[in-house]
Amino acid sequence: MKLALTTLATLLLAGAATAQITVQSCDRTVTFEAPPQAAISNDVNLTEMMLVLGLAGRMVGYTGISGWKTLDEEMTAGIEALPELSAKYPSKEVLIGADADFFFAGWNYGMKVGGEVTPETLEPFGIQVYELTESCIHIGAKEAASMDDMYNDLRNLGAIFDVSDRAEGLIAGYQAELATFLEGQPDLDAAPRVFVYDSGEDVPFTAGRYGMPNALIEAAGGTNIMADLEKSWATVGWEAVVERNPEVIVIVNYGEVTADQKRAFLRSNPAFADIDAVRNDRFVVLEYVEATPGPRNIEAVKTLAAAFRAE
């Protein structure tokens, strides 16, 4: 009997050991003893990643959406049972007060370098953090943004929450869907020059080589005119935009200034009259949730690919 109990204890300990999951989160290796049960996500795109993995039941809330963005019907339905704990970036007290055990966020997606909410400041309170892959450029070197950034996050979340089969199924489905669509598109004579216009009138806020739009544009067959900008998102001078003369302008739609207003600004300013995209009225609108890492990147690539091939 004693031997049987010893064997059982050994098996239980072995089972507990194998239950541990370790993932890479930016420059950190993070080990989870068990799947989180009280998770919080920040921002609309990160929250949607949690939803497509079927994790709403493991969440105690979300943050950082209504302060800047509105939700469409699909997203509203997905999170209707969850409270928004903070309209913008959450404070440490908000996360602790919700008895959270997990925070899915990123640098400039709910956390700021040197801010009060970081993996290090949350660790003493039992809150583990997984960082959005695209955002890792803010704390260290990484490759240019690619579709693999989004797939990597889904795969790691799947491992963390013990839903890897679902995550791998989603990734395979997204990859197949995108490949099938692109195979059916006519070849381009040349990659169109594309500028991403997020916001700003005095100086534009745009996506550099480490921002997700760079990956979306390249996947769709274009080239980001700011691909040499060693940033994910940053301001540049209008002079550089005019000089590089984009053939297509991608407008990111969110916030108080609508996509129509941004387009009107570009079309009404005489300084931009000779830009090919303005002269030929070649604008494409992506919603914020499409232009940032998340499940809707697939539709974003389709939208861009069709626009690049339009007469």
CA distances from 156 to 63, 100, 213 (A): 21, 19, 22
Tokens 């070197």 identify what position?
141
301 alpha-carbon distance from chain centroid: 14
Question: For 199-225, b where at least 16 C-beta lie within 10 A, e where not — what string?
Answer: beeeebebbbbbbbbbbbbbbbbbbbb
CA distances from 119 to 33, 92, 103, 139, 271 (A): 17, 11, 9, 12, 45
List the beta bridge partners of residue 39: 59, 102
Cβ(26)–Cβ(139) below 8 Å: yes
Neighbours of 184 (CB within 10 A): 8
- The bridge status of strand 84-86 relative to strand 59-63 is parallel
pLDDT for the residue numbered 18: 52
Q: Output the CATH code of domain 17-175.
A: 3.40.50.1980
- In the structure encoding, which two tokens stand for residue 204, read together? 């534009």
198 alpha-carbon distance from chain centroid: 15
- Cα–Cα nearest to 151, from 133, 129, 177: 133
Question: What is the residue-level pLDDT of the chain in tens, covering all 311 positions?
Answer: 444 444 444 444 444 445 799 999 999 999 999 999 999 999 999 999 999 999 999 999 999 998 887 777 877 788 888 999 999 999 999 999 999 999 999 999 999 999 999 999 999 999 999 999 999 999 999 999 999 999 999 999 999 999 999 999 999 999 999 999 999 999 999 999 999 999 999 999 999 999 999 999 999 999 999 999 999 999 999 999 999 999 999 999 998 999 999 999 999 999 999 999 999 999 999 999 999 999 999 999 999 999 999 86
Q: Taking the domains of the chain in order of start, what are their residue ranges?
A: 17-175, 186-308
| SS3 state at 265 | helix
* Equal fold, 17-175 vs 186-308: yes
pLDDT for the residue numbered 16: 47
Cβ(99)–Cβ(60) below 8 Å: yes
Where on the phi/psi map is residue 39: left (φ > 0), alpha (ψ -120 to 50), or beta? beta
List the beta bridge partners of residue 278: none
266 alpha-carbon distance from chain centroid: 27
What architecture (CATH level 2) is domain 186-308?
3-Layer(aba) Sandwich (3.40)
Element (H, E) at 102: strand 102-107
Tokens 């709403």 identify what position?
56
